[in-house]
Structure 1
Amino acid sequence: MARPPTGPGGPGAHEGSVEPGEQGRAHGGYAALLDDAAATGRRPCRAELEELRTLGEQAAVEGTTLRTLVVSHLAVARGVRPSGAGAADDVLRTMGLAVDALCEGYERAQQVAVRQQEAARREFIDDLLYGRSALGRLAERAEQFGLRLSHAHAVAVAEGPAPYAEGDAVPRSVERAVNGRFGERSILLTTKDGRMVCVVPGDQRDVLTYFAKQAHAATDAGRTAIGRAHPGPGGVVHSYEEALGSLDLAHRLGLEDPVLHAGDLLVYPVLTRDRQAMAELVRTTLGPLLKARGGPQTYLDTLTAYFDNGCVTTQTARQLALSVRALTYRLERIHQLTGADPTDPQHRYTLQTAVIGARLLNWPERKT
């Protein structure tokens, strides 16, 4: 029958072997193991080592430090008096096996605790970003991670050339850089769906800017979107969704900026809020380009470059690697096909809005 763990002064321990201040708990049969090793050279059996592992686990759960646990068992060994040739080596061997088993059990408990903490943190992050928990309960859990959801918060989302996972080298390096610069002042850094996520109080947007810079530098690529600050427990979800929406817009519009601010892109959600009306504008305004030889894409690219360059023909022609004359011909052809003149201010706004709508709706690949 397994002997219950006892204190240093309990049964099986050598009296006076644990010095004051060393309050770790020594295994009840540990001293007997050492005595057997000194007398007969017997090594601990599997069951005895498992008892020591269990003690190590219990010590970790109760909050005893590993140092204290090891010191208390080493102190017990000082009371052993080996006799005969080789007895000291047998005692040292048994002591080493015992301490190794203690440490193994201690580390086992720590690994379980870490996995439990990681699971709780991941569940909290999912609930925080998707708003799947009662707001009151969510606010209580948030305080464990340094967030006060009664305040406004803003979220930045970074994507790279490859998906990120928790513990990858890039997220770790970015976290070290951000925490090294700002400390942990209510900053939550994590990964979600292959992207890095940074949540900060709404008045600490400098942290998000630095996060975006580090995320880009870590891969020499990628893009970060920063949502606006929003108050209350639902503010994190709102800001997170804005950041995700900005990344989606960047893909559809071909935006190349490494940092996107949701506040600067509000016009695009407005344009697509009435999706049916936007689709009708695209069909009516740009539909005639489907009749062009080779399809509409060349003319759509021409209009995009023309508007992006402030309707300056020389800059547009240079970007498209065309002569000014060739560009002028294309603009005239667009006028002939659509009836709208890109060089006429009265027509320009309609054409530019329709071109933006085409990119947002993925027209003409996805028929509107």
Structure 2
Amino acid sequence: MTERAQRRGGRRPAKPQAGDAWLIDVAEGAGRDAGAVPVELLGDYLPLLADAATHGRRAKRRELDAVELLGRRAAEQGISAGKVVQLYLSAARRLWQDLPTVVRSRDPEEVRAAAAAVLQVVDDAVATLAEGYAVARRDLVRREESLRRELIDDLLRGDSDLGTLVGRAEPFGLDLARVHQVALAAPSRRLPDADAAISALEAVVFDRLGDRDVLVATKDGLLVVLAPADAGATGRMSSGMDASNELGRLMHRELSRLHRGRPWRVAVGRAHPGLYGIARSYEEAREALTMAGRLNTNTPVINAHDLLIYRVLLRDQPAIVDLVQAALTPLVQARGGAGPLLDTLEAYFATGAVATESAKRLHVSVRTVTYRLARIKTLTGYDPADPAHRFTLQAAVLGAKVLNWPQEPLPIPA
């Protein structure tokens, strides 16, 4: 017998059972209203509503616990919270329209009492459903964050099994065969609200690069961004040579909007292909951050490519210590120490050995610059104006910056 015929004949039972066809029709209609959400997520919700309308019974704790589990299941299936709630509200509306107690009753008080009982069950059920959904979503987020941290650790370490990593990276949209680069952001103090910083970076980086082959995470108090790079950028990432260095500027600009963590410093590693290229780019970015700290640079975005000379110098520290000791330690005999003379050499080399430009940069007179250069020649035996001596002096000055000399004593050779 059809639903319409049942209404005309008035033979529908006063208390509908869960297996009744009309409840199935209500459930299927609600599923369509919510966008094809599985009706199994309703569980015993519809009989609960019918029982509340007929007998005024409230849902018991165990029944609400069952609804909470359904909310968790919906979250685990990736169904949006809005659709699940719509399913429950649509089911309540459709059931109310077809409920025998309402259809057959002409007593306003009886209808009002039934409505109050049904609304109470709807209120309790939807609140419990949402709570279960939220708990499951938090658990999923924590699990995903844990997987993300483990993945980023293994990717940056570079010694994990490639086959295993490929499968773990796929859910995050990473193609490990592509060319990638790593950028690190260091706050001025301890990393502030990491979630807020990650969310801010994800929003702007995803908007610019898309969410494929991009991973944002934290490691050792730093924010880490793994991003794709053009194959043509492999091995070179000079700020003046490659437009993809915009990643560093983009990160710094977005992080500077946050109230905490400023001033931020961002270091960008060069682009390299494959799994081991990710680890290499990360190490370059870490070294760039460390080097920037040693050099006391005020540059907010550091490029690993621009600091390659310092990496070369540090690979043979005993040799660079020997060079600094031999070429520059005589400068400590000067009045005022070696500092002003080193600053003069740095400015002189940076301006292409032009005394007038060096004077402008140092905010001193040209005569002061020429006097200092002559004093350097006298003390060290190296003439900064002589091309044959200039390379030695410039390498020694770079080494002194790396070693933070003369602020710190030179390391004692092992």
Task: Note the C-alpha offset of 1:77.
Answer: 4.8
Q: Distance in 2 between matches of 1:28 and 1:107?
A: 19
Partner of residue 104 from structure 1, selected from 120, 131, 135: 131
- Do residues 367 (structure 1) and 410 (structure 2) align? yes
Greater helix content = 2
**Which residue of structure 2 aligns with residue 198 of structure 1?**
226
Task: Note the C-alpha offset of 1:245.
Answer: 1.6
Q: Distance in 2 between matches of 1:208 and 1:198?
A: 13
Partner of residue 176 from structure 2, selected from 149, 152, 161: 149
Deviations 1:47-90 (A, max 9, x none): 33222212222343345555254257424455542562533212
Task: Note the C-alpha offset of 1:360.
Answer: 0.7
**Which residue of structure 2 aligns with residue 60 of structure 1?**
75
Q: Distance in 2 between matches of 1:57 and 1:10?
A: 25
8 A contact 1:154–1:200 mirrored in 2: yes
Q: Distance in 1 between matches of 2:329 and 2:342?
A: 11
Q: Distance in 2 between matches of 1:115 and 1:26?
A: 24
- Do residues 354 (structure 1) and 396 (structure 2) align? yes
Q: Distance in 1 between matches of 2:18 and 2:115?
A: 24
Task: Note the C-alpha offset of 1:124.
Answer: 0.7
- The letter for the 2-side match of 1:195 is L
- Do residues 311 (structure 1) and 353 (structure 2) align? yes
Partner of residue 70 from structure 1, selected from 75, 88, 91: 88
8 A contact 1:9–1:16 mirrored in 2: no
**Which residue of structure 1 aligns with residue 272 of structure 2?**
230
Structure 2: stretches of 5+ with no match in the other structure: 1-16, 32-37, 234-241, 258-262
Gap change, CA 1:324 and 1:141, over 3 Å in 2: same
Gap change, CA 1:229 and 1:49, over 3 Å in 2: same
**Which residue of structure 2 aligns with residue 276 of structure 1?**
318
Q: Distance in 2 between matches of 1:90 and 1:9?
A: 18
- The letter for the 1-side match of 2:268 is I
Under a length normalisation based on structure 2, what TM-score does the superposition of the two structures give? 0.75
8 A contact 1:159–1:223 mirrored in 2: yes
Partner of residue 128 from structure 1, selected from 150, 155, 167: 155
Task: Note the C-alpha offset of 1:234.
Answer: 0.7
- Give the secondary structure class of the aligned counterpart of 1:153: strand
Q: Distance in 2 between matches of 1:104 and 1:97?
A: 11
Bigger mean CA offset, 49-58 vs 198-207: 198-207
- The letter for the 1-side match of 2:222 is G
- Give the secondary structure class of the aligned counterpart of 1:197: strand
Q: Distance in 2 between matches of 1:279 and 1:77?
A: 86
- Do residues 323 (structure 1) and 377 (structure 2) align? no
8 A contact 1:26–1:73 mirrored in 2: no
Q: Distance in 1 between matches of 2:230 and 2:301?
A: 18
**Which residue of structure 2 aligns with residue 301 of structure 1?**
343
Q: Distance in 1 between matches of 2:232 and 2:206?
A: 13
| Residues 152-301 of structure 1 aligned to structure 2 (within 5 Å) | 152-159=179-186, 161=188, 163=191, 166-169=194-197, 171-192=198-219, 193-203=221-231, 208-218=244-254, 219=256, 222-301=264-343
- Give the secondary structure class of the aligned counterpart of 2:346: helix
- Give the secondary structure class of the aligned counterpart of 2:208: helix
Q: Distance in 2 between matches of 1:164 and 1:281?
A: 42
**Which residue of structure 1 aligns with residue 120 of structure 2?**
93
Q: Distance in 2 between matches of 1:194 and 1:133?
A: 21
- Do residues 37 (structure 1) and 36 (structure 2) align? no
Task: Note the C-alpha offset of 1:359.
Answer: 0.8
Structure 1: stretches of 5+ with no match in the other structure: 1-7
Q: Distance in 1 between matches of 2:22 and 2:337?
A: 90
Q: Distance in 2 between matches of 1:326 and 1:128?
A: 53
**Which residue of structure 2 aligns with residue 4 of structure 1?**
none
Q: Distance in 1 between matches of 2:282 and 2:382?
A: 39
- Give the secondary structure class of the aligned counterpart of 2:40: coil
- The letter for the 1-side match of 2:196 is D
8 A contact 2:332–2:338 mirrored in 1: yes
**Which residue of structure 1 aligns with residue 142 of structure 2?**
115
Gap change, CA 1:27 and 1:149, over 3 Å in 2: closer
- The letter for the 2-side match of 1:175 is E
- Give the secondary structure class of the aligned counterpart of 2:226: strand
- The letter for the 2-side match of 1:353 is A
Q: Distance in 1 between matches of 2:387 and 2:45?
A: 92
Task: Note the C-alpha offset of 1:136.
Answer: 2.1
8 A contact 1:77–1:95 mirrored in 2: no
Task: Note the C-alpha offset of 1:247.
Answer: 2.7
- The letter for the 1-side match of 2:410 is K
Under a length normalisation based on structure 1, what TM-score does the superposition of the two structures give? 0.84
* Aligned residues with identical type, % of pairs: 43
Q: Distance in 2 between matches of 1:143 and 1:194?
A: 24
- Give the secondary structure class of the aligned counterpart of 1:341: coil
8 A contact 2:18–2:46 mirrored in 1: no
- The letter for the 1-side match of 2:76 is V
8 A contact 2:30–2:90 mirrored in 1: no
- Give the secondary structure class of the aligned counterpart of 1:168: helix
Q: Distance in 2 between matches of 1:345 and 1:327?
A: 18
Gap change, CA 1:32 and 1:360, over 3 Å in 2: same
Q: Distance in 2 between matches of 1:48 and 1:14?
A: 18
